[in-house]
Amino acid sequence: MNQKHDREKVLRSGLHLFCSKGYNNLGVDEICKTTGMTKGAFYHAFEDKENFLLEAISTYGQNQVRYIHGKLDSTGEVKAIDRLKNFYLRMLEYQPEVNYMGCMINNMMSELGAINELVGKATSIEFARFVEAIEPTVKEAQQDGDLTPHISSEKMTELIHTTFYGTLTRAKSLSSAEKGIETMHLLFQTLSR
């Protein structure tokens, strides 16, 4: 059963495991156990653990823009600035239970040897994808007069998302999103002048 749909499912839950446990702490046996595969099936389907991770990351990335747009729109808010705020606050609130994949993947980098560079590239691409997906909403908020027009929407989106990365780092150690939410609020407030 090498159905494409199943493969994607395995990759997704594998990535999820990597995110919560890290690279070295997650054994192939556990991936197999969780996904209901056996080791034979695993090594038949994938080259090795490293390539499994890489494929998982790449598959995840392909669905990301769609995912972000969904999250941005499904907040039920009409104004762009509120959709933005809601998006980030949601992302923070779900952390660390659900975790935020990109950041976690990045955090695993120090564990990885050879594929370090590749994962780094993937993370960098991921950042760009986020910015690309969020930028239109930022621009909309600027046109609404809710964010300052003095900065280009691209640069502003980069700033917002960089700060978000920072709040994630903090949230992880605090195991609470509270402080991060406060900081994001403060940033939006600053950018509204």
Partner DNA sequence: AAATTTGTACCGACCGGTCTGTTTGACTAT
Partner DNA sequence: ATAGTCAAACAGACCGGTCGGTACAAATTT
- Please tell me whether residue 169 binds a copy of itself under the rule CB under 8 A: yes
The closest alpha carbon to 155, from 169, 170, 134, belongs to: 134
Q: How far apart are CA 151 and CA 61, in angstroms?
A: 28
- Please tell me whether residue 4 binds a copy of itself under the rule CB under 8 A: no
- Please tell me whether residue 175 binds a copy of itself under the rule CB under 8 A: yes
| Minimum distance from residue 160 beta carbon to a copy of itself (Å) | 10
Q: How far apart are CA 150 and CA 147, in angstroms?
A: 9
Q: How far is CA 61 from CA 114, 119, 121, 165, in A?
A: 21, 12, 12, 17
Nearer to DNA among residue 111 and residue 178 (C-beta): 111
- Figure out which of the listed residues 13, 34, 59, 183 binds a copy of itself, where binding follows CB under 8 A: 183
Nearer to DNA among residue 25 and residue 148 (C-beta): 25
Q: How far apart are CA 2 and CA 153, in angstroms?
A: 44
The closest alpha carbon to 157, from 171, 184, 136, 177, belongs to: 136
- Please tell me whether residue 72 binds a copy of itself under the rule CB under 8 A: no
Q: How far apart are CA 129 and CA 142, in angstroms?
A: 20
Q: How far apart are CA 30 and CA 156, in angstroms?
A: 41
Please list the alpha-helical segments (H only) found in 46-152: 49-62, 64-73, 80-94, 101-108, 116-143
The closest alpha carbon to 141, from 126, 157, 130, belongs to: 157
- Please tell me whether residue 58 binds a copy of itself under the rule CB under 8 A: no
| Minimum distance from residue 92 beta carbon to a copy of itself (Å) | 12
Nearer to DNA among residue 44 and residue 66 (C-beta): 44
- The 81-120 contact track toward a copy of itself, x by CB under 8 A, reads ----------------------xx-xxxxxx-x---x-xx
What is the contact surface with DNA in residues (CB under 7 A)?
1-5, 24-29, 37-41, 43-45, 48-50
Contact residues: a copy of itself, CB under 8 A: 19-25, 103-104, 106-111, 113, 117, 119-121, 123-124, 127, 148, 150-151, 155-156, 158-159, 161-170, 172-175, 179-180, 182-183, 186-187, 189-191, 193
